[in-house]
Amino acid sequence: MTGRLRRQWLDEGAWLVHVPGWLAGTDALLREVQELDRFRQEHIVMYGRRVVQPRLTAWLGVEMDAASRYRTVRARRPFTPLVAALLAELSGLRDETGDPCGSPYNSVLVNWYRSGSDAISWHADDEPTLGPEPVIASVTMGGSRTFALKPRGGGKRMALSVGNGDLLVMGGDLQRRWLHSVPRRPAEKQSRISLTFRRFLVDGAPAAGLKAAVT
């Protein structure tokens, strides 16, 4: 793991941090996460149609309901030991100036992309329960995939290759001004698991209480 992180400003208000190989030795964490017994393939409503998400998901900490577009709490689940340790590390991140670059996270969404056929389409993590300028961190384990971004109003797109142990942090008003996706790569056979750390502004779910609850 590294110390202070350098932000890349996408425009005057949106920033991104990408640190390849930030987390070394992911094998134990990957095994711990893969052993979770609650992976499911969620259904969401898009353009009036109920569709299945092309990936598996599981939650730790505050679990939000996908059918409500992550507006309501479905459950509060304990963190596993290694995820709890990683959560504490990410919550204390600082940028190169010493300013906070993390958040007191209380929720982890685990996305399991079983192969390159699994994906997530263009979207923004702009649910009201995340607040106006959420700081969202993700850690990749397993195979490499493309992480793409594009401005909402049109303009130059960006694409990053995220691989095993990479850290990605999105902050500022990125969620209001940009969209992101993990596009399909049909030739890719290796699976990828991402741990996405969020802080949902929900009553009765303080980060400190959830950090202490581990399986």
Domains of the chain, first to last: 8-211 (2.60.120.590)
pLDDT exceeds 90 at position 85: yes
Closest CA to 174 of 144, 207, 130, 129: 130
Q: How many Cα atoms within 13 Å fall on the side-chain side of residue 25?
A: 4
3 state DSSP class of 116:
coil
- Res 37 pLDDT > 60: yes
Band of the pLDDT at 211, cuts 50, 70, 90? very low
- pLDDT computed for residue 215 by the predictor: 43
CA distance 8 to 102: 15
- What region, left, alpha or beta, does residue 143 occupy, with left being phi > 0 and alpha being psi -120 to 50 degrees? beta
**Percent of the chain with pLDDT strictly greater than 90:** 80
- Give percent of the chain above pLDDT 70: 89
pLDDT at 51: 73
Instruction: Note whether 104 and 51 are within 8 A (CB).
Output: no
Average pLDDT (1-21) is 90
Residue 209's pLDDT is 39
The residue ranges of DSSP E strands in 20-144, in sequence order, are 43-46, 49-52, 56-64, 73-77, 107-113, 120-123, 136-142
Three-class DSSP category at 140:
strand
Point out the least confidently predicted range of 126-130, 138-142, 201-205, 210-214.
210-214
Report the pLDDT value the prediction gives residue 3, as an integer from 0 to 100.
64
Strands 49-52 and 43-46: antiparallel
Q: Is the pLDDT of residue 167 over 70?
A: yes
117 pLDDT higher than 60 = yes
Over residues 18-38, mean pLDDT: 95
Average confidence score pLDDT of the chain: 90
